Amino acid sequence: MAGSSRNNFINTVNHRQPERLVVDFGSTAVTGIHVRIVEKLREYYGLERRPVKVTEPYQMLGEIDEELMSSMDIDVTGLYGEKNMFGIKNTGWKTDKTPWGQEVMYPGDFNYTRNSNGDMLIYPEDDTSVQPCAMMPKTGYFFDAVDRQKPVDDSKLSVDDNLEEFTPVSDHDLEYWRTAAEAASESGRAVIASLGGTALGDIALVPGLNLRDPKGIRGVEEWYVSTLIREDFVKEIFDRQTDIAIENLKKINAAAGKHIDAVFICGTDFGTQNSTFCSPETYERVWHPYYKKVNDWIHLNTGWKTFKHSCGAVESLMKLFIRSGFDIINPVQINASDMDTQELKRKYGKDIVFWGGGVDTQGVFAFGAPQQVREQVKRQCSILNENGGFVFNTVHNIQANVPFENVIAMIEALKELR
Protein backbone atom coordinates (compact mmCIF):
# COMPACT_ATOMS: atom_id res chain seq x y z
CA MET A 1 0.00 0.00 0.00
CA ALA A 2 3.05 2.28 -0.02
CA GLY A 3 1.94 3.83 -3.31
CA SER A 4 -1.13 5.38 -1.64
CA SER A 5 0.68 6.23 1.59
CA ARG A 6 1.88 9.65 0.50
CA ASN A 7 -1.54 10.65 -0.86
CA ASN A 8 -3.21 9.67 2.39
CA PHE A 9 -0.56 11.59 4.31
CA ILE A 10 -1.08 14.72 2.20
CA ASN A 11 -4.82 14.55 2.81
CA THR A 12 -4.31 13.97 6.52
CA VAL A 13 -1.94 16.88 7.13
CA ASN A 14 -4.25 19.15 5.15
CA HIS A 15 -7.20 18.18 7.36
CA ARG A 16 -9.00 16.10 4.78
CA GLN A 17 -10.30 12.63 5.58
CA PRO A 18 -7.80 10.06 4.23
CA GLU A 19 -8.94 6.84 2.61
CA ARG A 20 -7.39 5.05 5.55
CA LEU A 21 -5.62 5.89 8.80
CA VAL A 22 -2.02 7.08 8.35
CA VAL A 23 0.52 5.22 10.52
CA ASP A 24 4.08 6.10 11.54
CA PHE A 25 6.68 4.07 13.37
CA GLY A 26 10.30 5.17 13.25
CA SER A 27 10.27 8.26 11.07
CA THR A 28 11.59 10.51 13.86
CA ALA A 29 13.60 10.15 17.06
CA VAL A 30 10.40 10.60 19.08
CA THR A 31 8.21 8.10 17.18
CA GLY A 32 10.64 5.18 17.11
CA ILE A 33 10.88 1.68 18.55
CA HIS A 34 13.50 0.38 20.96
CA VAL A 35 15.89 -2.09 19.37
CA ARG A 36 14.66 -4.87 21.71
CA ILE A 37 11.10 -4.59 20.38
CA VAL A 38 12.29 -4.24 16.76
CA GLU A 39 13.98 -7.63 17.07
CA LYS A 40 10.74 -9.19 18.35
CA LEU A 41 8.75 -7.57 15.54
CA ARG A 42 11.07 -9.03 12.93
CA GLU A 43 10.55 -12.46 14.46
CA TYR A 44 6.77 -11.93 14.63
CA TYR A 45 6.61 -11.12 10.91
CA GLY A 46 8.89 -14.03 9.97
CA LEU A 47 11.68 -11.83 8.65
CA GLU A 48 15.32 -12.86 8.42
CA ARG A 49 16.91 -13.27 11.84
CA ARG A 50 19.83 -10.88 12.05
CA PRO A 51 21.17 -8.28 14.48
CA VAL A 52 19.18 -5.04 14.34
CA LYS A 53 21.00 -1.80 13.60
CA VAL A 54 20.97 0.77 16.41
CA THR A 55 20.28 3.85 14.31
CA GLU A 56 19.74 6.23 17.25
CA PRO A 57 21.98 4.96 20.06
CA TYR A 58 21.15 7.67 22.62
CA GLN A 59 17.68 6.15 23.02
CA MET A 60 18.72 2.77 21.55
CA LEU A 61 16.17 2.96 18.74
CA GLY A 62 16.31 0.22 16.15
CA GLU A 63 16.24 0.42 12.37
CA ILE A 64 12.85 -0.19 10.82
CA ASP A 65 14.07 -1.24 7.40
CA GLU A 66 12.11 -1.57 4.18
CA GLU A 67 10.93 -5.14 4.77
CA LEU A 68 9.72 -4.36 8.29
CA MET A 69 8.08 -1.12 7.12
CA SER A 70 6.24 -3.11 4.46
CA SER A 71 5.21 -5.78 6.95
CA MET A 72 3.88 -3.17 9.39
CA ASP A 73 2.27 -1.17 6.56
CA ILE A 74 3.91 2.09 7.61
CA ASP A 75 3.06 5.27 5.66
CA VAL A 76 5.91 7.62 6.60
CA THR A 77 9.66 7.31 6.22
CA GLY A 78 12.23 9.44 7.99
CA LEU A 79 15.39 11.21 6.88
CA TYR A 80 18.16 11.56 9.44
CA GLY A 81 21.55 13.21 9.29
CA GLU A 82 24.68 11.31 8.40
CA LYS A 83 25.82 11.33 12.04
CA ASN A 84 24.00 10.25 15.18
CA MET A 85 23.59 12.17 18.46
CA PHE A 86 27.17 11.41 19.47
CA GLY A 87 28.64 12.81 16.27
CA ILE A 88 29.45 9.33 14.93
CA LYS A 89 28.60 8.35 11.34
CA ASN A 90 25.98 5.64 10.98
CA THR A 91 28.16 3.58 8.65
CA GLY A 92 30.49 0.57 8.78
CA TRP A 93 28.22 -1.49 10.99
CA LYS A 94 29.64 -4.02 13.46
CA THR A 95 28.06 -6.60 15.76
CA ASP A 96 28.13 -6.34 19.55
CA LYS A 97 26.02 -7.26 22.57
CA THR A 98 23.93 -4.90 24.66
CA PRO A 99 23.97 -4.94 28.48
CA TRP A 100 20.79 -7.04 28.38
CA GLY A 101 22.41 -9.59 26.08
CA GLN A 102 20.86 -8.72 22.71
CA GLU A 103 23.10 -8.96 19.67
CA VAL A 104 22.84 -5.70 17.73
CA MET A 105 24.79 -3.70 15.17
CA TYR A 106 26.48 -0.45 16.14
CA PRO A 107 28.15 2.03 13.77
CA GLY A 108 31.75 1.10 13.01
CA ASP A 109 33.16 4.02 15.01
CA PHE A 110 30.88 3.41 18.00
CA ASN A 111 33.37 2.46 20.70
CA TYR A 112 32.76 2.51 24.41
CA THR A 113 34.37 1.77 27.75
CA ARG A 114 32.91 0.54 31.03
CA ASN A 115 33.35 2.08 34.44
CA SER A 116 33.91 0.17 37.67
CA ASN A 117 30.16 -0.44 37.99
CA GLY A 118 29.97 -1.98 34.55
CA ASP A 119 28.09 0.98 33.08
CA MET A 120 28.64 1.74 29.39
CA LEU A 121 30.38 5.04 28.57
CA ILE A 122 30.27 6.63 25.11
CA TYR A 123 32.40 9.50 23.81
CA PRO A 124 31.79 12.43 21.45
CA GLU A 125 32.93 11.66 17.91
CA ASP A 126 34.47 8.43 19.27
CA ASP A 127 37.23 10.38 21.02
CA THR A 128 38.06 8.35 24.11
CA SER A 129 40.74 10.87 25.12
CA VAL A 130 38.03 13.26 26.39
CA GLN A 131 35.37 12.98 29.05
CA PRO A 132 32.50 10.62 28.15
CA CYS A 133 29.33 12.41 27.05
CA ALA A 134 26.76 9.75 27.97
CA MET A 135 26.32 6.64 30.10
CA MET A 136 24.08 3.59 29.90
CA PRO A 137 23.68 1.94 33.32
CA LYS A 138 24.46 -1.77 33.25
CA THR A 139 20.80 -2.44 34.10
CA GLY A 140 19.47 0.23 31.72
CA TYR A 141 18.13 0.26 28.18
CA PHE A 142 19.30 3.66 26.90
CA PHE A 143 21.87 6.38 27.54
CA ASP A 144 21.73 9.40 29.83
CA ALA A 145 23.79 12.52 29.16
CA VAL A 146 26.80 13.03 31.41
CA ASP A 147 26.78 16.50 32.99
CA ARG A 148 29.86 18.27 31.64
CA GLN A 149 28.78 21.76 32.68
CA LYS A 150 31.75 23.95 33.61
CA PRO A 151 31.44 26.63 36.30
CA VAL A 152 29.45 29.55 34.91
CA ASP A 153 30.91 33.04 35.06
CA ASP A 154 28.24 35.42 33.79
CA SER A 155 30.82 38.09 33.06
CA LYS A 156 32.47 35.75 30.54
CA LEU A 157 29.44 34.09 28.97
CA SER A 158 29.61 34.09 25.17
CA VAL A 159 26.75 33.29 22.81
CA ASP A 160 29.28 31.74 20.43
CA ASP A 161 29.92 28.96 22.94
CA ASN A 162 26.35 27.74 22.51
CA LEU A 163 26.60 27.96 18.73
CA GLU A 164 29.54 25.59 18.23
CA GLU A 165 27.39 22.87 16.69
CA PHE A 166 25.23 25.29 14.66
CA THR A 167 27.29 25.67 11.52
CA PRO A 168 26.65 26.37 7.84
CA VAL A 169 25.68 23.29 5.85
CA SER A 170 28.54 21.92 3.75
CA ASP A 171 28.53 20.82 0.11
CA HIS A 172 29.09 17.28 1.36
CA ASP A 173 25.99 17.52 3.56
CA LEU A 174 23.90 18.94 0.73
CA GLU A 175 24.82 16.01 -1.49
CA TYR A 176 23.99 13.63 1.37
CA TRP A 177 20.52 15.17 1.81
CA ARG A 178 19.89 15.22 -1.94
CA THR A 179 20.72 11.53 -2.35
CA ALA A 180 18.92 10.41 0.81
CA ALA A 181 15.76 12.41 0.08
CA GLU A 182 15.56 11.15 -3.49
CA ALA A 183 15.89 7.55 -2.34
CA ALA A 184 13.29 8.00 0.41
CA SER A 185 10.74 9.52 -1.95
CA GLU A 186 10.95 6.51 -4.25
CA SER A 187 9.31 4.38 -1.56
CA GLY A 188 5.93 5.99 -2.22
CA ARG A 189 5.67 6.93 1.45
CA ALA A 190 5.56 10.43 2.85
CA VAL A 191 8.99 11.79 3.86
CA ILE A 192 9.73 13.68 7.07
CA ALA A 193 13.26 15.04 7.44
CA SER A 194 15.13 15.78 10.66
CA LEU A 195 17.45 18.36 9.11
CA GLY A 196 18.84 19.73 12.37
CA GLY A 197 19.77 23.27 13.26
CA THR A 198 16.29 24.37 14.32
CA ALA A 199 16.17 22.83 17.80
CA LEU A 200 15.82 25.90 19.98
CA GLY A 201 16.64 24.85 23.52
CA ASP A 202 15.96 21.15 23.04
CA ILE A 203 17.14 19.76 26.35
CA ALA A 204 18.37 16.55 24.71
CA LEU A 205 20.75 18.62 22.56
CA VAL A 206 21.82 21.33 25.04
CA PRO A 207 24.56 19.11 26.60
CA GLY A 208 26.33 18.94 23.21
CA LEU A 209 26.75 15.15 23.10
CA ASN A 210 28.67 15.45 19.82
CA LEU A 211 31.15 18.03 21.19
CA ARG A 212 34.48 17.08 22.70
CA ASP A 213 34.65 20.11 24.99
CA PRO A 214 31.27 21.85 25.20
CA LYS A 215 31.33 25.39 26.50
CA GLY A 216 28.63 27.82 27.55
CA ILE A 217 25.37 26.66 29.14
CA ARG A 218 25.44 22.88 28.77
CA GLY A 219 23.90 21.47 31.93
CA VAL A 220 20.20 20.60 31.99
CA GLU A 221 19.56 22.36 35.28
CA GLU A 222 21.69 25.37 34.31
CA TRP A 223 19.81 25.72 31.02
CA TYR A 224 16.41 25.76 32.69
CA VAL A 225 17.71 28.34 35.16
CA SER A 226 19.06 30.40 32.27
CA THR A 227 15.64 30.67 30.63
CA LEU A 228 14.59 32.50 33.81
CA ILE A 229 17.61 34.55 34.84
CA ARG A 230 19.46 34.95 31.52
CA GLU A 231 16.52 35.51 29.20
CA ASP A 232 18.31 38.03 26.97
CA PHE A 233 21.27 35.66 26.61
CA VAL A 234 18.99 32.77 25.60
CA LYS A 235 17.12 34.98 23.11
CA GLU A 236 20.38 36.05 21.51
CA ILE A 237 21.36 32.38 21.10
CA PHE A 238 18.00 31.66 19.48
CA ASP A 239 18.31 34.69 17.22
CA ARG A 240 21.69 33.57 15.92
CA GLN A 241 20.63 29.91 15.60
CA THR A 242 17.56 30.92 13.62
CA ASP A 243 19.53 32.99 11.12
CA ILE A 244 21.99 30.13 10.56
CA ALA A 245 19.12 27.64 10.27
CA ILE A 246 17.26 29.62 7.61
CA GLU A 247 20.38 29.98 5.49
CA ASN A 248 20.88 26.21 5.72
CA LEU A 249 17.23 25.50 4.93
CA LYS A 250 17.50 27.62 1.78
CA LYS A 251 20.35 25.44 0.51
CA ILE A 252 18.78 22.13 1.56
CA ASN A 253 15.50 23.09 -0.05
CA ALA A 254 17.28 23.85 -3.33
CA ALA A 255 19.07 20.48 -3.19
CA ALA A 256 16.38 18.16 -1.86
CA GLY A 257 13.21 20.07 -1.01
CA LYS A 258 10.96 18.58 -3.67
CA HIS A 259 11.35 15.13 -2.10
CA ILE A 260 10.37 16.23 1.43
CA ASP A 261 6.82 16.48 2.82
CA ALA A 262 7.46 17.52 6.42
CA VAL A 263 10.34 18.63 8.61
CA PHE A 264 11.08 17.98 12.27
CA ILE A 265 11.67 21.46 13.68
CA CYS A 266 12.20 21.05 17.39
CA GLY A 267 11.96 18.58 20.26
CA THR A 268 11.91 21.12 23.08
CA ASP A 269 9.58 19.85 25.82
CA PHE A 270 7.34 22.47 27.41
CA GLY A 271 5.16 20.19 29.50
CA THR A 272 5.40 18.26 32.74
CA GLN A 273 2.83 15.66 33.76
CA ASN A 274 0.61 18.31 35.32
CA SER A 275 1.72 21.70 34.02
CA THR A 276 4.21 23.54 31.80
CA PHE A 277 7.84 24.52 32.27
CA CYS A 278 7.03 28.13 31.46
CA SER A 279 4.06 30.46 31.28
CA PRO A 280 2.41 31.33 27.97
CA GLU A 281 3.84 34.83 28.39
CA THR A 282 7.39 33.49 28.68
CA TYR A 283 6.90 31.24 25.65
CA GLU A 284 5.62 34.21 23.68
CA ARG A 285 8.68 36.30 24.56
CA VAL A 286 11.45 33.71 24.38
CA TRP A 287 10.46 31.10 21.78
CA HIS A 288 7.58 32.36 19.66
CA PRO A 289 9.44 34.97 17.53
CA TYR A 290 12.11 32.49 16.45
CA TYR A 291 9.80 29.55 15.82
CA LYS A 292 7.56 31.84 13.77
CA LYS A 293 10.51 33.12 11.74
CA VAL A 294 11.55 29.57 10.78
CA ASN A 295 8.01 28.36 10.13
CA ASP A 296 7.14 31.44 8.07
CA TRP A 297 10.18 30.96 5.87
CA ILE A 298 9.30 27.30 5.32
CA HIS A 299 5.68 28.04 4.47
CA LEU A 300 6.59 30.87 2.10
CA ASN A 301 9.28 28.93 0.25
CA THR A 302 8.45 25.21 0.43
CA GLY A 303 5.54 22.78 0.52
CA TRP A 304 6.75 21.26 3.80
CA LYS A 305 4.66 20.85 6.93
CA THR A 306 6.42 21.67 10.21
CA PHE A 307 6.55 19.25 13.16
CA LYS A 308 6.85 20.29 16.81
CA HIS A 309 7.48 17.78 19.58
CA SER A 310 6.55 18.53 23.17
CA CYS A 311 5.58 16.05 25.82
CA GLY A 312 3.35 16.81 28.76
CA ALA A 313 0.40 19.00 29.67
CA VAL A 314 0.67 21.63 26.93
CA GLU A 315 -2.98 22.48 26.26
CA SER A 316 -2.38 26.00 27.58
CA LEU A 317 0.29 26.51 24.89
CA MET A 318 -1.59 24.96 21.98
CA LYS A 319 -2.90 28.26 20.60
CA LEU A 320 0.62 29.67 20.75
CA PHE A 321 2.08 26.65 18.92
CA ILE A 322 -0.47 27.32 16.18
CA ARG A 323 0.35 31.04 16.14
CA SER A 324 4.04 30.14 15.88
CA GLY A 325 3.22 28.41 12.62
CA PHE A 326 3.50 24.75 13.56
CA ASP A 327 1.41 22.42 11.42
CA ILE A 328 1.92 19.33 13.57
CA ILE A 329 2.14 18.67 17.32
CA ASN A 330 3.61 15.46 18.71
CA PRO A 331 2.68 13.62 20.82
CA VAL A 332 -0.73 13.87 22.41
CA GLN A 333 0.21 12.83 25.95
CA ILE A 334 -3.24 11.62 26.83
CA ASN A 335 -2.51 10.87 30.50
CA ALA A 336 -1.24 14.40 31.25
CA SER A 337 -3.46 17.10 32.74
CA ASP A 338 -5.96 18.77 30.37
CA MET A 339 -4.90 16.59 27.43
CA ASP A 340 -8.30 15.06 26.77
CA THR A 341 -8.37 14.08 23.11
CA GLN A 342 -12.00 15.00 22.50
CA GLU A 343 -11.44 18.51 23.81
CA LEU A 344 -8.15 18.92 21.94
CA LYS A 345 -9.72 17.77 18.68
CA ARG A 346 -12.74 20.03 19.18
CA LYS A 347 -10.70 23.12 20.03
CA TYR A 348 -7.65 22.77 17.80
CA GLY A 349 -8.32 19.98 15.31
CA LYS A 350 -8.93 22.34 12.37
CA ASP A 351 -5.64 24.16 12.91
CA ILE A 352 -3.04 21.57 13.90
CA VAL A 353 -2.31 17.92 13.12
CA PHE A 354 -2.03 15.50 16.04
CA TRP A 355 0.81 13.02 15.50
CA GLY A 356 0.87 10.38 18.23
CA GLY A 357 -1.44 9.71 21.15
CA GLY A 358 -2.78 6.45 19.76
CA VAL A 359 -2.06 4.56 22.98
CA ASP A 360 -0.80 5.60 26.43
CA THR A 361 2.78 4.38 26.80
CA GLN A 362 2.90 5.28 30.52
CA GLY A 363 -0.29 3.43 31.39
CA VAL A 364 -2.31 0.96 29.33
CA PHE A 365 0.44 0.10 26.86
CA ALA A 366 3.01 -0.67 29.56
CA PHE A 367 0.80 -2.16 32.26
CA GLY A 368 -2.60 -2.98 30.81
CA ALA A 369 -4.04 -6.10 29.22
CA PRO A 370 -4.06 -6.61 25.42
CA GLN A 371 -7.83 -6.05 25.27
CA GLN A 372 -7.43 -2.68 27.00
CA VAL A 373 -4.78 -1.73 24.44
CA ARG A 374 -7.07 -2.66 21.54
CA GLU A 375 -9.94 -0.66 23.00
CA GLN A 376 -7.82 2.41 23.64
CA VAL A 377 -6.29 2.36 20.16
CA LYS A 378 -9.72 2.18 18.54
CA ARG A 379 -11.14 4.93 20.75
CA GLN A 380 -8.24 7.30 20.19
CA CYS A 381 -8.31 6.79 16.44
CA SER A 382 -12.08 7.30 16.23
CA ILE A 383 -11.68 10.69 17.91
CA LEU A 384 -8.45 11.99 16.42
CA ASN A 385 -8.80 10.73 12.84
CA GLU A 386 -12.17 12.36 12.17
CA ASN A 387 -11.76 14.68 9.15
CA GLY A 388 -8.06 13.84 8.98
CA GLY A 389 -5.44 15.69 10.98
CA PHE A 390 -4.07 12.59 12.75
CA VAL A 391 -1.03 10.38 12.21
CA PHE A 392 -1.06 7.28 14.39
CA ASN A 393 1.83 6.69 16.74
CA THR A 394 2.13 5.86 20.41
CA VAL A 395 2.78 8.53 23.04
CA HIS A 396 6.55 8.78 22.38
CA ASN A 397 8.87 5.87 21.51
CA ILE A 398 7.97 2.24 22.19
CA GLN A 399 10.20 1.28 25.09
CA ALA A 400 12.19 -1.90 25.71
CA ASN A 401 10.00 -3.45 28.39
CA VAL A 402 6.55 -3.01 26.87
CA PRO A 403 4.83 -6.43 26.99
CA PHE A 404 5.07 -7.72 23.45
CA GLU A 405 1.52 -9.03 23.55
CA ASN A 406 0.44 -5.39 23.93
CA VAL A 407 2.46 -4.39 20.89
CA ILE A 408 0.68 -7.11 18.92
CA ALA A 409 -2.68 -5.98 20.29
CA MET A 410 -1.96 -2.47 18.99
CA ILE A 411 -0.97 -3.81 15.56
CA GLU A 412 -4.08 -5.99 15.34
CA ALA A 413 -6.31 -3.05 16.27
CA LEU A 414 -4.73 -0.95 13.54
CA LYS A 415 -5.33 -3.73 11.02
CA GLU A 416 -9.01 -3.79 11.91
CA LEU A 417 -9.28 0.01 11.68
CA ARG A 418 -7.57 0.12 8.30
Residues 30-62 pLDDT 10s: 999 999 999 999 999 999 999 999 999 999 999
Q: What's the confidence (pLDDT) of residue 2? A: 52
Residues 6+ apart with CB under 8 A from 135: 115, 119, 120, 121, 122, 143, 144, 146
Residue-wise pLDDT for 279-297, tens only, equals 999 999 999 999 999 999 9
Percent of the chain exceeding pLDDT 70 equals 99
Q: What's the confidence (pLDDT) of residue 3? A: 54
Determine contact, residues 298/304, Cβ cutoff 8 Å.
Answer: yes
Q: Parse the chain into domains and list their residue ranges.
A: 2-34+64-85+149-417
Predicted TM-score (pTM) of the model is 0.97
As a CATH number, domain 2-34+64-85+149-417 is 3.20.20.210
Residue-wise pLDDT for 357-378, tens only, equals 999 999 999 999 999 999 999 9
The one-letter amino acid at 333: Q
pLDDT at 229 over 90: yes
Nearest to 59, CA basis, from 144, 146, 142: 142
pLDDT at 103 over 70: yes
pLDDT at 1 over 70: no
Average pLDDT over residues 271-276: 95
Determine whether 137 is exposed, middle or buried from the number of CB atoms within 10 Å of its CB (0-12, 13-18, 19+). middle
Determine contact, residues 102/35, Cβ cutoff 8 Å.
Answer: yes
